[in-house]
Amino acid sequence: MAETSEVLFPKTSDKPRLSGYDYYEKLFMGDHFTAFNIAIDNNKDFNKAYAKIRYVKANFAGLISKVIADMLFSEPIKLKVESEEQQNWLDSFVQENKLNQILYESALSNSYLGDILFKLRIGKRMAGDEDSSIILSNLPPSIYFPKINLSNIDEDPEVKELCWIIDFIDKDNKPKKYLRKEIHLPKKIVNELWRMEGDKVVEKVPFSEIGDTTTKPFEDTKINRQLVVHIPNWKTVSRFWGISDFYDLDTLFFAINNRISKIDNILDKHSDPLLVVPTGILDEKGKVKKGSLGVVEVQDANDGKPEYVVWDASLENAFNEIDKMVELLMMTSEISPDILGMGKGQSDSGRALKYKMLRTIAKTARKRLYYDNAIKEIIYRSMMLAKAWGLKAGGVAFSGEPVIPEIVWADGIPADETELIENENARIDGGTETIEDAIMKIDGVDRDTAVEKAKKIKDEKAIEMPTNGFDMKNNPFNQVKDLKKKAEKQGGK
């Protein structure tokens, strides 16, 4: 007997979260007019107010997310483990899965959505591959429906459902709608297909109904952890879901766009002024269309002389308002103007720049807390899969027991090389650091490369260099001294 249900998808409780994802994505992509129209429920006054003007947007939303993603992952992280064999496997896994690119894209989306997912799976990376491998990918949070423990929202859910809609045309050319479920549990994945009628989930059906003969109802993962990891952008103790970077900025986005749009349209309107002419010049019977000519007829206009109607816009206050709103936006979003090259004055050093960017650096560090744990968990679970299934990464086999890696983070700020070299030289002279450690920091190389380079430097210093100036052996002053010493010795005899 077929399993039936009368559950709605999505559930009423999930709709605000899903509509929020859609709203914030439109802001990020610069579709601000549609986003604000949706946010106020297609308000007639909004449509009427902006129907007569050209809407101009300044996409600060996209800029904010890009800045944060750049700060987090424009400089690749370094993953380290103690075992050389495991390090080789890990390096191959990072390269094979393009981890740095995946992390950057996830940070970009996480910023505006408020949530993002990592998913691991086992399969063939390319159609022609002979062997399966571990594949890491990003997933949108709009398909994530976990069973949250309301008594402990920080707990990693034991049941994690991925759900999405499949539109299908059957053999009779009739459209049908299905709900695909991928339920992640410890040690297994459950795959389900449900037929839908409108928003109702009606009946569980076999995958063959949509022509799928490869998907299995159950998959054994062989590890006791799920293959899905959720990363919130940032959150509070009362929330399971993350918070978008735009959640308290949209009114400022709207205000800035509104003011820019009004100024733009005002300047356009008054760039083509009306011509004022005395009464009687124009034919009122329609031989001349006043509107087409942009002409207005008035009594005793300028003693009978035609003139243009011009307007002193006095837009200085409007521009000052925009400047103030942009300043508030930078302050509220914790984005330093200096990171955009808009700061006042010049930074004398990398240290001075970091002080000016203190809030942006703190915001980046806040996000790093969530990513640090998630990346370590993903690598650990990948090692568990590699061990359980005997999978290779880039041809490198995994050996030993899974371990949690160390992550070395960059700060996302271009290094001041002069200042860095001075600091490292001072530490070497003070005996608080080795030459190898300094080379690793300055050149960004691994320890083996740094040790080899340090050895070359020591060998070069050991070579006796020629002395600048006179040849000491043939120096005439030294020759005179030698003659005196010779004469003294002969006189003594």
Phi, psi (rounded to 5 degrees) for 157: -60, 140
Highest mean pLDDT among 62-76, 281-295, 338-352: 62-76
Each residue's pLDDT tens digit, 230-278: 999 999 999 999 999 999 999 999 999 989 988 888 787 766 666 565 6
3-class SS of residue 425:
helix
What separation in angstroms does the CA of 397 have from each of 81, 126, 128, 419?
A: 15, 19, 20, 42
**Per-position DSSP letters for 347-361, written without gaps between them:** -SSHHHHHHHTHHHH
Over residues 166-188, mean pLDDT? 94
Q: Within a domain: residue 126?
A: no
pLDDT above 90: residue 200:
yes
- Between 181 and 481, the more confident residue is 181
What pLDDT is recorded for position 454? 83
Q: Within a domain: residue 214?
A: no
Over residues 350-363, mean pLDDT? 80
What confidence tier does 123 reach under pLDDT thresholds 50, 70, 90? Answer: very high
Q: Within a domain: residue 442?
A: yes
Considering only 61-75, 341-355, 411-425, which range has the smallest mean pLDDT? 341-355
Q: Within a domain: residue 360?
A: no
Q: Within a domain: residue 465?
A: yes
CA dist 472 and 485 (Å) reads: 17
Q: Within a domain: residue 425?
A: yes
Angle (nearest 5°) at CA 408 between 406 and 414:
175
Q: Within a domain: residue 377?
A: no
Each residue's pLDDT tens digit, 376-407: 999 999 999 999 999 999 899 999 999 999 99
pLDDT above 80: residue 226:
yes
Which segments of 245-337 are extended strands (E)? 275-278, 295-298, 307-308
Range of the domain at 454: 415-493
Over residues 106-120, mean pLDDT? 97
What is the count of structural domains for the chain?
A: 1
Considering only 266-270, 332-336, 476-480, which range has the smallest mean pLDDT? 476-480
Q: Within a domain: residue 420?
A: yes
What pLDDT is recorded for position 286? 43
H or E element that contains 291 = helix 290-293
Which residue reads 């709203």 in tokens?
Answer: 23
pLDDT above 90: residue 344:
no
pLDDT above 90: residue 142:
yes
